Amino acid sequence: MNQSEAKAKIDTLRREIEEHNNRYYVLNRPLISDFEYDILLNELDTLEKKFPEFISDNSPTKRVGSDITKEFEQYEHIYPMLSLGNTYSEEELREFDNRLHKSISQPIEYVCESKFDGASISITYINGSLFRAVTRGDGNKGDDVTLNVKTIRSIPLKITSKRIPAEFVIRGEILMPRAVFNRLNEERIKAELTPFANPRNAAAGTLKLLDPRIVASRSLDCMIYFLLAEELPHDNHYDNLKEAAGWGFKVAESIRLCKNIDEVLQFISFWESERKKLPYDTDGVVVKVNSLSQQNELGFTAKSPRWAIAYKYKAEEATTRLLSVTFQVGRTGTVTPVANLEPVLLSGSTVKRATLHNEDQINLLDLHLNDMVYVEKGGEIIPKIVGVDHSERNENSKKIVFISNCPECGTALIKNEGEANHFCPNYLHCPPQIKGRIEHFISRKAMDIDGLGEETIDLLFNKNLIRNFADLYDLKMEQLVPLERLGEKSAANILKSIRTSIDTPYRRVLFALGIRHVGETVAKTIAWRFKTIDDLINAGIDQLTSVYEIGPKIAASIVSYFSDNDNLEMIERLKSVGIRFSEMSEPTLTGNLLKGKIIVISGVFKEHSREEYKELIEKNGGKNSTSVSGNTSFILAGDDMGQSKKEKADELGIPMISESEFLKIIDK
């Protein structure tokens, strides 16, 4: 076979295999057996190996996943992935409909779609080829999981239709069928691994695996719910989804075009029971305005589209017996009570435990041992006790009393005034707190140390190799290699990542320290105000509270942290290995036009992104704030500004400056 013949045969096989993929995974109407399919795939694989010049990243042979892995890079979404407002009643849905009719004079059609419970994905296609797949992330940017998404057979790698835009984005939900979820958990239990909590967690966790071969083995699926492009095939959402289905994407057969809100309610009522027959988990119905011009007219709030809403079904409830209550200690020492229950089937999974939140919740429920309790899944994910069947209570049953000492180290618990939770103050010697702080220290937004997951931290702790995060920088190859599940390659990668973390910026180091009440934003504020760790250590309550957005609670926590000699010793150890404890990348002031100004940003902008505007404010001497208060100087207001911020600004008489006015102020 010459080159020309090989290319023609390869192209034919690819088209044929993708057609069979679509029939099997999307249409559920296979034409050939699995054996015949494997023969075609093997023939293509053989030809590609013989003629490597014709290998393509979008070939069906790439579906099995490569053993090449890379760190997930982050990319900004071309179109931000906003969240949806939720509603739980017919009354609220009718209010939604009435609100839209006040803005839209023409009749409004709605599209109803089952709200599948999985992991959201945004996939970009260029000239018909799958270019990049990005997770939802924070809505503005997410992780690049393209290699993993390419293993999902219901997602086309190449689209041959002539009607497609040159570049478009398709959005959908990555799902794990219940049957696959149950099989996977059975395998994990046999291997003595922790089972996944539910199909959504399993799908999201699988999507973030670094080995696409494992992703390919887990039979993920994808249901498409949105098409975005500069020029779309149709002027309405429903026809665009149907068009995408014609291109080979999997669109739920249950979607329905409704003429009015009454038809929407009929759809919701029908699927409340029928959804249990679907192979995937759903927790509600998404209702969208069909007309794209009406969508544009209605616009967006800061967080969600005004033209769509999610109706959530009432969480399923079950009755079971409370066997006992245990208490768990978290990273910051917070003690959470957990109810241990007689196993009960709830929303398709067996529930054995439920959260009780805190002492107030236990007292509110008036819980006793062996009570018959009502359990539901909050958002159909986390089980919680919502009531007690007092008619079934034994008169001699013992009342549940919140513990007074830490279950891990025995230290007397503390409950600060104004706080709902008890916590263990022995943060330096309480094992779950130590391990939790180390896990926080190595996390992506902190020191970003790879290869050290929860299980590895647990292993290192149990082997007495680490007792705090400073110990990480003393680890040696000969200590790691003999450990279970590590080996030479993994050990080398861990040590390399630890060394790399030494260059982490000061603000992230502050966040990594795990000071109580000091999150990412506060850490950045502190790093800007106190240029070195020594400045911060020597700061008193008054100095700290003089910094905008640092109140008495945060200030007291910082002072308490640096009053502990063990913490100071740990910081000295981190200094000795070269960790950065001074701000070297603070915004360079280009002027003082905004000096003393506290500015809130709200809305969508044309000239710059919100992050760019935040940087411009800081460079001109101003301060950013996320909430409107009497201290706010003005609001930088873009399109679709949040209604609550607008109302607050009107109430307080705070001026709103447009994007063009702001750029004139800073002379840009």
Query: Distance between CA 228 and CA 234 in Å, rounded?
Result: 11
SS3 label, residue 468: coil
Query: Distance between CA 232 and CA 235 in Å, rounded?
Result: 7
| 470 Cα distance to chain centroid | 29
Residues in the chain: 668
Strand partners, 620: none
Candidates 279, 210, 250; CA nearest to 121 is 250
Q: Is the dihedral of CA 600, 605, 607, 610 positive or negative?
A: positive
Query: Distance between CA 150 and CA 121 in Å, rounded?
Result: 12
Q: Are 576 and 590 in contact (CB under 8 A)?
A: no
70's enclosing H/E stretch is: none
87's enclosing H/E stretch is: strand 86-87
Query: Distance between CA 278 and CA 281 in Å, rounded?
Result: 7
Task: Give the per-residue SS3 of 224-259.
Answer: EEEEECCCCCCCEHHHHHHHHHHCCCCCCCCCEEEC
Helix boundaries (H) for 65-139: 90-103
Burial label for 542, CB within 10 Å (0-12, 13-18, 19+), is exposed
Strand partners, 288: 111, 308
Q: Are 44 and 60 in contact (CB under 8 A)?
A: yes
b/e code 364-381 from CB counts within 10 Å (16+ = b): ebebbbbbbbebbbeebe
Q: How many CB atoms lie within 10 A of CB 667?
A: 9
Query: Distance between CA 519 and CA 522 in Å, rounded?
Result: 5
Q: How many CB atoms lie within 10 A of CB 453?
A: 11
- The number of C-alpha atoms within 13 Å of 570 and in the hemisphere containing its C-beta is 21
Query: Distance between CA 422 and CA 332 in Å, rounded?
Result: 11
Query: Distance between CA 282 and CA 112 in Å, rounded?
Result: 13
Q: Look up 115 and say whether it is catalytic.
A: yes
Candidates 90, 88, 59, 251; CA nearest to 172 is 251
Reading phi first (left if > 0) and then psi (alpha if -120 to 50, else beta), residue 248 is in left
189's enclosing H/E stretch is: helix 178-190
Q: Which of 9, 49, 115, 606 is catalytic?
A: 115
Residues serving a catalytic function are 115
